[in-house]
């Protein structure tokens, strides 16, 4: 709607002729169209369409192949499939040698780039490693405030969850600030200023902050088991390892009792126990 000559009473209505980028419904429309297009693909490209669908996150495709020929085939066929819906799958990056990469890159890609962004993380193509970079929000000696803790806690876009062991600490600290009623720019108490460092090999992770509304420790332990079962099921499905054996670790005897024994349980416990049993085996 446009106010002609700045007069609210004199309006002209315009209608977009295409999907607008960045509005609230855009991600849904993108996902719906992609799913529809890929679900219509028939043999002999059906398995490739399934692989492409599993490799998409919003408008990014992150996939793995075993050879250069498989990469060339994957790129050619996926571009042809998505072209039917006017999608141009471009900007290809890989970690092959430069002379090989030139045969599978398109003109919009910079072959000499060593590091590229993948779902918010930095991918070093020579080392084949993922990393992230935190931007300092305070100078040395400056007081740490709730505002700065919030900035650090939500600075990283990490859908895989690699940084959960690190970002969990500022999230817990932020929750403590709310409990203590600390204002946005007040200095944090000394016990909240501790730094922690560590190294942890990890494939994927999830973290949750306990709600301020009271919930019993056994129920929170059961929620942790529920989240772990969901994550394990998701990882095995995405890596096509559905038949491998899994091992879950939890030291809550209450949660283990609920999972291993038959009810009847209250609704909260029953719903989560049923999901855990559906996603895992009792002996795991």
What is the token pair recorded at 272?
């989560």
Angle at which helices 267-279 and 253-260 cross, to 10°: 70
The count of domains in the chain is 2
Phi, psi of 16 (to 5 degrees): -70, 140
Q: Is residue 187 part of a domain?
A: yes
Does 186 share its domain with 227? no
Q: What pLDDT was estimated at residue 108?
A: 47
Contact predicate 228/247, CB 8 Å = no
What is the token pair recorded at 74?
């994957």
Task: Give the whole-angstrom CA distance, residue 118 versus residue 62.
Answer: 8
User: Percent of the chain having pLDDT more than 90?
Assistant: 10
pLDDT single digits (tens) 29-83: 889 999 999 999 888 989 999 999 999 888 888 888 888 888 888 999 999 999 9
Burial 246-255 (b: 16+ CB within 10 A, else e): eeeeeebeeb
Q: What pLDDT was estimated at residue 130?
A: 85
Q: What pLDDT was estimated at residue 191?
A: 64
Does 223 share its domain with 171? no
Q: Is residue 6 part of a domain?
A: no
Residue 55's closest CA among 65, 68, 44? 65
Q: Is residue 97 part of a domain?
A: no
pLDDT single digits (tens) 78-100: 999 999 888 888 888 888 755 44
Task: Give the whole-angstrom CA distance, residue 278 versus residue 54.
Answer: 22
Does 191 share its domain with 222? no
Q: Is residue 29 part of a domain?
A: no
Contact predicate 79/89, CB 8 Å = yes
Q: Is residue 73 part of a domain?
A: no
Contact predicate 65/74, CB 8 Å = yes
Task: Give the whole-angstrom CA distance, residue 275 versus residue 225.
Answer: 10
Q: What CA–CA distances, in Å, run from 269 to 18, 163, 231, 275?
A: 47, 29, 19, 10
Domain interval for residue 189: 146-195
Higher pLDDT, 224 or 14: 224
pLDDT single digits (tens) 112-145: 678 888 887 888 888 888 888 777 666 666 778 8
Q: Is residue 223 part of a domain?
A: yes
Q: What is the pTM of this model?
A: 0.56
Local confidence band at 209 (pLDDT 50, 70, 90 cut-offs): confident
Q: What pLDDT was estimated at residue 39?
A: 92
pLDDT single digits (tens) 164-207: 877 888 888 888 888 888 889 888 876 655 544 345 566 677 77
Does 188 share its domain with 231? no
Over 70: is that where the pLDDT of 272 sits? yes
Looking at residue 199, the DSSP 8-state letter turns out to be -
């Amino acid at each position: 709607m446009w106010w002609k000559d700045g007069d609210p009473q004199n309006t002209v209505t315009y209608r977009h002729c295409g999907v607008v980028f960045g509005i609230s419904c855009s991600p849904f429309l993108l996902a719906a169209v992609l799913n529809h297009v890929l679900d219509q693909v028939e043999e002999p490209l059906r398995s490739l369409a399934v692989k492409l669908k599993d490799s998409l996150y919003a408008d990014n495709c992150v996939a793995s192949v075993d050879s250069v020929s498989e990469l060339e085939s994957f790129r050619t066929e996926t571009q042809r499939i998505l072209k039917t819906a006017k999608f141009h799958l471009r900007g290809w990056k890989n970690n092959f040698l430069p002379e090989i990469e030139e045969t599978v890159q398109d003109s919009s890609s910079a072959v000499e780039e060593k590091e590229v962004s993948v779902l918010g993380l930095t991918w070093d193509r020579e080392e084949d490693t993922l990393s992230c970079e935190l931007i300092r929000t305070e100078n040395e000696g400056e007081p740490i405030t709730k505002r700065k803790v919030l900035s650090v806690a939500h600075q990283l876009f990490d859908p895989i969850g690699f940084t959960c062991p690190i970002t969990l600490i500022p999230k817990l600290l932020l929750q403590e600030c709310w409990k203590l009623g600390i204002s946005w720019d007040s200095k944090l108490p000394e016990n909240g200023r501790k730094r922690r460092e560590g190294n942890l090999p990890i494939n994927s992770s999830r973290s949750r902050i306990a709600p301020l509304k009271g919930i019993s420790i056994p129920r929170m332990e059961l929620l942790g088991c529920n989240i772990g079962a969901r994550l394990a099921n998701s990882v095995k499905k995405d890596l096509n390892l559905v038949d491998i054996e899994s091992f879950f670790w939890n030291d809550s005897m209450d949660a283990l009792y609920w999972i291993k024994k038959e009810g009847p349980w209250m609704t909260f416990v029953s719903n989560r126990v049923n999901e855990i049993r559906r996603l895992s085996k009792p002996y795991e």
